[in-house]
Amino acid sequence: MLVNSLPFPSTCQTALWCSFPSTMVSSSTNLILVQWNPSYRITSQIKLPSKERFLCSELSVRTYKLLATNQAQTTIQEDKDSNLWEESKQSLYAFNFTTEEADGILKKAFGWIHSPYWGEERRKETPKLESIKEMLDYLKSLSLSDDDLHKILKKFPEVLGCCLNEELKANVQTLEREWGIKGKTLRNLLLRNPKVLGYNVDCKGDCMAKCTRCWVRF
């Protein structure tokens, strides 16, 4: 006779077979193989000959340990990601963003919300406070006030997910070198069209289907 309940993790899905030694679930010498779903209800059972008992029991123990380990690692990673996300959000409050606005900015910047700027190329990432601070500090060094940064992040939240050296700094240098844009003129340009900070494609008229990031738009 099967016991009423067995302590098994909710990660045992319907498609997973979980086996137990017969001494745990029956007075017979056979091994009973049971199938579990997430609601902890047995959906089917099969009795196996006792000679197969050791192999199946060993397999089930290994599976159980693997599931338990993976579940613990996932929980730790989720907690870590949650803390990083919260820290990153708090760094945006200084620019007069609400919690919802800061959350939306980060989601667009790091691929959690679809953005035409990234297209389908952006994979989901967890923002890191250090990287965001470096980005914001650099933008401030361009004579941009907190109010200016509020406007820029509102128009182009994806800037926080761009590469500081290869995109932002390189583009600012290009603007000065090619068009002599710097200082107050640069500030006015960034307030009007902050996406220029993220341009990383120059098709030179031969379209590469990456128009949202192309210098042709400038």
Bridge partners, residue 20, by sequence: 32
138 vs 113: CA distance, rounded Å = 25
Which of 90-104, 109-123, 187-201 holds the top average pLDDT? Answer: 90-104
Helix, strand, coil share of the chain (percent; to 5): 55, 10, 35
Whether the per-residue pLDDT at 82 is higher than 60: the answer is: yes
Element (H, E) at 183: helix 183-192
Please give the DSSP secondary-structure letter assigned to residue 217: G
Residues 39/41/46/51 CA torsion (nearest 10 deg): 70
Q: Are strands 17-20 and 42-48 parallel, antiparallel or unpaired?
A: unpaired
For residue range 18-67, what is the model confidence (pLDDT) as tens digits? 444 444 444 444 444 444 444 444 444 455 555 454 444 555 555 555 55
Element (H, E) at 192: helix 183-192
161 vs 26: CA distance, rounded Å = 58
Instruction: Determine the length of the chain.
Output: 218
Please state the domain extents for the chain. 17-78, 91-217
| Pair of tokens at residue 51 | 């000679």
Please give the DSSP secondary-structure letter assigned to residue 165: I
| Pair of tokens at residue 123 | 């994979």
Backbone angles phi, psi at 45, to 5 degrees: -150, 150
Which strands sit side by side in the sheet containing 42-48, from one edge to the other? 17-20, 31-36, 42-48
DSSP states of 97-134: --HHHHHHHHHHHTTSS--TTTTT-PPP----HHHHHH
pTM score above 0.85: no
Of 118 and 77, the structure prediction assigns the larger pLDDT to: 118
Which of 10-14, 38-42, 172-176 holds the top average pLDDT? Answer: 172-176
117 vs 159: CA distance, rounded Å = 10
